[in-house]
Amino acid sequence: MFDLYLPIAEISVNAPLLVALGAAVGFISGLFGIGGGFLMTPILLLIGIPAPVAVASLSSHVAASSTSSVISYSRARAVDFRMGGVLASGGAVGSFAGVEVFRWLRLLGQADLAVSLCYLVFLGIIGGLMLVESLGAILRQRSGKGAPPRRDKRPPWLYGLPLKMRFPRSRLYISIIPPLALGVFVGMLSAIMGVGGGFILVPAMVYILRMPAGVVVGTSLFQIIITTTLTSVLQAGRNQTVDIVLATLLLIGGVIGAQAGAKASSRFRAEELRAILALIVLAVGIRMGIGLFLAPEEPFLLMAGAG
Amino acid sequence: MAPALAPPPADGNPPEVSAALTTTTVQVTSGFRGARIVLYGAVFDPRDRPSDVVVIVRGPDQPIRIARKTRVGGLWINSRPVVFQGAPGFYMAASSRPLDQIAGFGVLRRLGAGIDHLAMNAPAEQRVETRYGVRDMVVSRLGADYLDWRRAVVRLKQRAHLYDADDHGVTFVDKGLFKSEIDLPTEAPIGQYRAEIILFQDGQPVSRRVRDLTVEKVGLERALYLFAHHWPWTYGFVSVGVALAAGWGASAAFRRR
């Protein structure tokens, strides 16, 4: 009785269910400081939203939930706007390329293969690494040993590159090439997987760019807002696949969930949070990728939209 | 394509069929969850010969893209998609008896009556060549698998309730008076539908009526759909603007507490 017909997806969905899903994912996104797109896309696919519509509509949803959290982070002076700007200019190039690549894959009929593979590979790697790292941290804590001596040796190649720039808030003086490249990569993923890319940005900023942990989450959210805003406009303009009703339903739950999540995050230890997030990431990656290995029940599939 | 009707019998009035739909316009609103339309009609035959009625409903034509999963290096990967042309986005064939008992293969094929007789093919896969000395033979690159592909299209469409064949979907409620039901799922395509009501006697179509049905988006649904397709870039900016404002609004609302 609360079913709502989505004008672009052209299917009917249960409105309260979508709001609740938005809230749940929003809570997780606020808790861990991630966009939550990597969770939401698979859920939407599972309830039958066509992949192009799910991916495109989520960009605007992720933009909204990130805006809601980035404001709180910037108040706490935890956003490096300069670094965010460099990442975002790479991200802009990446999302232009990503939207075109996605369009091309759709015409080839390989869009869902690409989406599944990206999920399996990227979520599998990131989830695995995070799990190992956070379990190690938890075990060390339990056995009473302190943290291992932090290898503060920064990778020399990061400093050998030209075009250096000062990032006062991150206390860095590095070449802008690695952040730019990172931005391009994440921008492309954002267009193909319907994610913000925080799950790749955050670890990359910590382990590759060596940014201080305090500014990482806020800065990644800032860059995500810019990339997803752009992706969303591009998807609407090029592919006409942004469903504003779907995005709004997710939003209502999402922004409230995100605020609650951000409040709750102070009650947990950082390494425990990371371990839980790692498990979620791994589970989603495996769930999305497993279809590639199992013999399908129905070997044929209809594809949306004639190319 | 006007089907060739059998010539009227020499004696008296020819038999006729008449029919109407309870609804001629289905409006897709935000609460749309599919629709059921009742078709009712009557057979007028002064000589009361045994009659069969077949109802065929076709939605707007939609090219169908279908792919087959094949195993490549341990991974199940989509094949190159095949495009079928000429297939309707919605198809229903209802009859008072199984179709093959009502008329012969050739008659049904000519009328496009029944899912097996739907005229759809994959033109991109076809080429014309000379084989066994016969010129202009149409050969499909899908080869012997062609029927598998075609059957898969029908199976998947049936699963989505977009194709339906009901051997007893037309019921006679009284002498000469019949009815049938058209169930449109939520996924039913938007556009012009055509219901064709054909009266069969002795395996031949003797009378035919056509009724139109429109499925259209109305209200907010229509406005948003048109907006998104006619001004895609503006739509994109507006939808992102709404999203960013909502994010900012929520953050501001929570801070005040």
ipTM of the complex: 0.74
Q: Hey, what amino acid is at B158? A: Q
What does the pLDDT look like over B6-54, one tens digit per residue?
A: 665 556 678 889 999 988 888 888 778 888 999 999 998 888 888 899 9
CA distance A173 to A179: 12
pLDDT digits (tens, 9 = 90+) for A235-274: 888 878 888 888 888 888 887 887 788 777 777 777 777 7
Please indicate whether, in this complex, the C-beta atoms of A306 and B157 are within 8 angstroms of each other. no
In this structure, is the dihedral angle defined by the CA atoms of residues A35, A39, A42 and A43, taken in order, positive or negative?
negative
Q: What is the pLDDT of residue A306?
A: 41
Test B74 with A293 for CB contact under 8 angstroms.
Answer: yes
- The answer to whether A5 contacts B31, with C-beta atoms less than 8 Å apart, is yes
> Are residues B236 and A108, on separate chains, in Cβ contact within 8 Å?
no
Task: Report the C-alpha gap between A8 and B239 in whole angstroms.
Answer: 13
A231 at B interface, C-beta within 8 A: no
Q: In this complex, is the C-beta atom of B235 within 8 Å of any C-beta atom belonging to chain A?
A: yes
HSE toward the beta carbon, residue A294, CA cutoff 13 A: 10
Q: Is A213 exposed, middle or buried (0-12, 13-18, 19+ CB in 10 A)?
A: exposed
The pLDDT value recorded for residue B54 is: 92
Packed helices A111-118 and A81-108: angle between N→C axes, nearest 10 degrees: 140
Which residues 101-140 of B have a C-beta within 8 angstroms of A? none
Per-residue pLDDT, B92: 92
Q: Check if A280 contacts B (Cβ < 8 Å).
A: no
Which mean pLDDT values do the consecutive 10-residue runs of chain B (257 residues) have? Answer: 56 82 86 86 86 91 84 79 84 90 88 83 67 64 76 88 89 89 87 92 90 87 84 87 83 67
Give start and end residues of each alpha helix (H) in chain B.
99-102, 105-111, 146-159, 219-230, 232-256
Distance of alpha carbon A55 from alpha carbon A53, whole angstroms: 6
DSSP A114: H
Question: Which token pair is B112?
Answer: 């496009």
Query: Of B218, B225, B182, which Cα lies nearest the Cα of B92?
Result: B182
**CB neighbour list of residue A298: distance below 8 Å, 6 or more residues apart:** B155, B156
Q: What is the 3-state secondary structure (H, E, C) of A28-47?
A: HHHHHCCCCHHHHHHHHHHC
> Residue range A279-303: average pLDDT?
81
Residues of B in contact with A256 (CB under 8 A): 250
pTM over 0.90: no
pLDDT digits (tens, 9 = 90+) for A71-115: 767 776 777 888 888 888 998 999 889 888 888 887 777 777 788
